[in-house]
Amino acid sequence: MRIPPALAALALTLAALVGCSDDGDGADVDPGGDHLAEAADVLPSDSTLVEFVDRAASAERAGVGGTEVPVDDYVAALRSDDVAGSPLATTLVTADEAGVALDERGVEWSAAVTLGTGSGRAATVVSVADDVDLDAMVAELEEAGLAREEADGRTHLTGLASDLVDVSTGTIAGGYPAGFYDVTVDPDARLVVTGDDASEVFRTVDGDTSSLADGPLGDLLDGVEGNDRVRLEALPDCTRALLGGRVTPEQLERIEQEAPAFQRPLQTLLAQGDGDPQVRLLMADDDVAAADVEVRQTFLDEGTLLSSGEPIADVLSGTVTQDGNEVVVDVSLADDAPAFLLDRLALTADGPFACY
């Protein structure tokens, strides 16, 4: 079993994340443009986990676009996995019944982001359609008991979740997710940001700090435009597939004896949309990527999932190629593959994401 020193990987990743200069011009937020590029312009450069959803694009393709689509039609599309749901999807029915200003159908794109390594800092960024009345949303939240502050053309509303959340529906103000106990609204950028680090997002919007798109990580995103769901992670934990009792001592011994000589990626990316999924692994340099390609291809063709022992070929096939310092895996899922299989494998650093 060979895992390159974590310290070296950390140094390389930090260089990629924060080594870019700050031009101070602010983010070019253009609702209706390329949503992934738009999100990359407003997310901070020290983002270590990003889960992006282009809700509007997937809804349009599924025939349930627009803010006025009947809720039953939209829910059916969500249940069939035809639409990539945002964090507001869980409260859609309640929100529709309450008639609140913003619900799932008014979301253009969303990005749940974790900032820094092991910091626990997080924010959820939602880009809102032009026909959503943000002033009405602010009024609804203020009437529900959130305190309101104005600064820099933005509105910040906050309160105690325990005082605000209706336990019978799990919502605030009749239809907003529980996370809306701390929310900042930017009417010019059409952004609604929840979480304890919204200020860092707006520093990026204002150009006071560099964005995800400013440096080498932007190049990784360039290859996956037009996808509905993108998961981007820095410094993945290569041992997650072995944690939580999912691997027996016998399996662990076999893995230690037979583990492929994977290279440790600095960044992993999963892109899913209308076509076949794609996995991209950012390596330290071209030589490291080249050393990984054949090993990873053999593993996908002949190996088993580290977390379950199931033959990989039973659930997916993958074609592994090199693109500079990136390892690219074009994935084809088996017809009977479990729903959200690739999301689970990304979470556990297994299958195409394996680096143990």
pLDDT score of 222: 74
**Strands, E assignment, 131-236:** 147-151, 154-158, 171-172, 176-177, 182-186, 191-194, 229-234
Other CB atoms within a 10 A radius of the CB of residue 300 amount to 20
| Side-chain-facing half-sphere of 120: CA atoms under 13 Å | 0
pLDDT score of 247: 60
Cα 150 to Cα 142: distance, rounded to the nearest angstrom: 12
Q: What counts of helices (H) and strands (E) characterise the chain?
A: 12, 14
pLDDT score of 117: 66
pLDDT score of 177: 96
Tens digit of each residue's pLDDT, the chain (356 residues):
333 333 233 333 323 332 333 343 444 433 334 899 999 999 998 888 999 999 999 999 999 999 999 999 999 999 988 899 999 999 999 999 999 999 999 999 999 999 876 666 899 999 999 999 999 999 999 999 999 999 999 999 999 999 999 999 999 999 999 999 999 999 999 999 999 889 999 999 999 999 998 865 677 787 787 789 999 998 887 776 555 445 667 766 766 666 678 888 999 999 998 788 999 999 999 999 999 999 999 999 999 887 778 899 999 999 999 999 999 999 999 999 887 899 999 988 889 998 87
pLDDT score of 28: 43
Nearest to 104 by CA among 122, 143, 140, 78: 78
| Under 8 Å between Cβ of 186 and 134 | no
The pair of three-digit structure tokens given for residue 36, joined into one six-digit string: 């992934």
Cα 26 to Cα 188: distance, rounded to the nearest angstrom: 13
pLDDT score of 338: 85
Cα 235 to Cα 8: distance, rounded to the nearest angstrom: 11
pLDDT score of 215: 63
